[in-house]
Structures are given as structure tokens and as C-alpha cells.
């Protein structure tokens, strides 16, 4: 049914943006993660790449970086079905390769952007650890990784509360806003 096809032409100014958590890097950003681990091993001269990957990390609750990098990519079908029952879904962005700026704007119509409340979710430890080990600025992190939000769903604003209740762990991230130039994902 054509009227139910999701896409940027259905999203509109004022739509609520719902974030559904990721389980880690998912399937993207591993080249940068590998580079960070290799550079760290070279920097610490006494450490090998295996030492960097297999050392228990306090910030990961004692887990190793290697195991944390292997976290399974979660599917979102169950969450989509739950949302479809309670909310008017307009568009979906899977935050994959290219991070936020490379993915979220593709789900929005021209002339709009996404205002995202950065404090609306907690940053998973894997991302802050990689950022620290790699000495990465926030823009590079958000342009590479999902930063703990694997899926962003644009819903009608009046569906926001129902959407959050339908998907445990989801958060109200922000809104679709008018936007004319520059980066289309604005973190506040």
C-alpha cells in the first residue's frame, strides 16, 4: 500500500525523533576501532594488539575491549512492529556507516534537519573508551559510530509518548526542525 511506504517525503517539521539503543558498534566503524587498537599497542610499546584487546577494562565492567567489539548487531523488527501498532511512523534511519550525519538526513525531507538532545541517552562505555584510546573529537565519533542509538524513528509528535512506552529502552531524542545549510544533525 503506497500510502504506508516510509521515507523522507513523509517526515515533516515537528515530528518527534525516537531513538532505539544499539548493542555496540553493530556492523560499522570497525576500521577506525582496529586503527585505534593498533595505534594504542604501538604507543604502549610494551603492549601487543592482543594485550589491548584482551585486557579487562574497568569502564566496560571488567569485560575486554575485544569481547565488547564483538557484541551482536541487534535486529529491530520487533520494535518496529510495536511502534507501528501505536504510532504514526513517518521515516526510519538506521545509524550505520557514516554515523549520524551520514544516515539521519537521508530520512528527512529537504529543508529540514534533526535537533537532537545529546543528554537524552547515556553514552555506552565502548564508545567513550574508544574515543579516549584514539583521542577522537566528538564530531569524528558521531560521524563514524552510532554512539549507542542504532535506529532513529520519526513519528508524528502526538505519537511520541505512546512510541516510548511501546519500546522499552527507547528515548525521545529530539525533533525535525527547519534547516537550510551546513550539518543537518544538530546536537544540543
CATH number where 15 lies: 3.90.650.10
Residue 143 lies in domain: 2-29+73-124+137-187
What span, in angstroms and rounded, lies between the C-alpha atoms of 107 and 113? 10
Q: Residue 46: what pLDDT?
A: 74
Strand partners, 93: 152
| DSSP label of 74 | P
Closest CA to 147 of 164, 126, 132: 126
What span, in angstroms and rounded, lies between the C-alpha atoms of 56 and 149? 25
What span, in angstroms and rounded, lies between the C-alpha atoms of 144 and 34? 13
Q: Residue 47: what pLDDT?
A: 79
pLDDT tens for each residue of 1-22: 777 789 999 999 999 999 999 9
Number of domains in the chain: 1
Give domain status of residue 55, yes or no: no
Give domain status of residue 56, yes or no: no
pLDDT tens for each residue of 34-86: 999 999 999 887 779 999 999 999 999 999 999 999 999 999 999 999 999 99
Q: State the pairing for strand pair 89-94/185-187.
A: unpaired
Give domain status of residue 38, yes or no: no
Give domain status of residue 66, yes or no: no
What is the percentage of the chain residues whose pLDDT exceeds 90?
91
Amino acid at each position: 500500500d503506497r500510502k504506508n511506504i516510509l521515507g523522507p517525503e513523509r517526515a515533516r517539521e515537528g515530528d518527534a525523533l525516537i531513538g532505539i539503543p544499539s548493542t555496540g558498534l553493530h556492523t560499522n566503524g570497525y576500521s577506525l576501532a582496529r586503527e585505534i587498537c593498533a595505534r594504542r599497542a604501538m604507543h604502549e610499546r610494551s603492549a601487543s594488539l592482543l594485550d589491548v584487546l584482551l585486557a579487562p577494562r574497568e569502564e566496560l565492567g571488567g569485560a575486554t575491549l575485544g569481547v565488547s567489539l564483538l557484541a551482536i548487531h541487534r535486529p529491530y523488527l520487533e520494535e518496529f512492529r510495536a511502534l507501528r501498532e501505536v504510532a504514526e511512523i513517518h521515516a526510519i534511519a538506521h545509524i550505520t556507516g557514516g554515523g549520524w550525519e551520514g544516515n539521519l538526513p537521508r530520512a528527512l525531507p529537504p529543508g529540514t534537519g534533526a535537533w537532537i538532545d545529546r543528554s537524552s541517552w547515556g553514552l555506552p562505555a565502548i564508545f567513550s573508551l574508544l574515543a579516549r584510546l584514539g583521542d577522537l573529537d566528538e564530531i569524528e565519533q558521531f560521524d563514524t559510530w552510532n554512539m549507542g542509538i542504532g535506529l532513529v524513528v520519526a513519528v508524528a509528535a502526538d505519537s511520541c509518548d505512546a512510541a516510548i512506552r511501546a519500546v522499552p529502552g527507547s528515548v525521545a531524542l529530539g525533533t525535525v526542525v527547519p534547516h537550510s545549510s551546513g550539518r543537518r544533525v544538530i546536537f544540543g
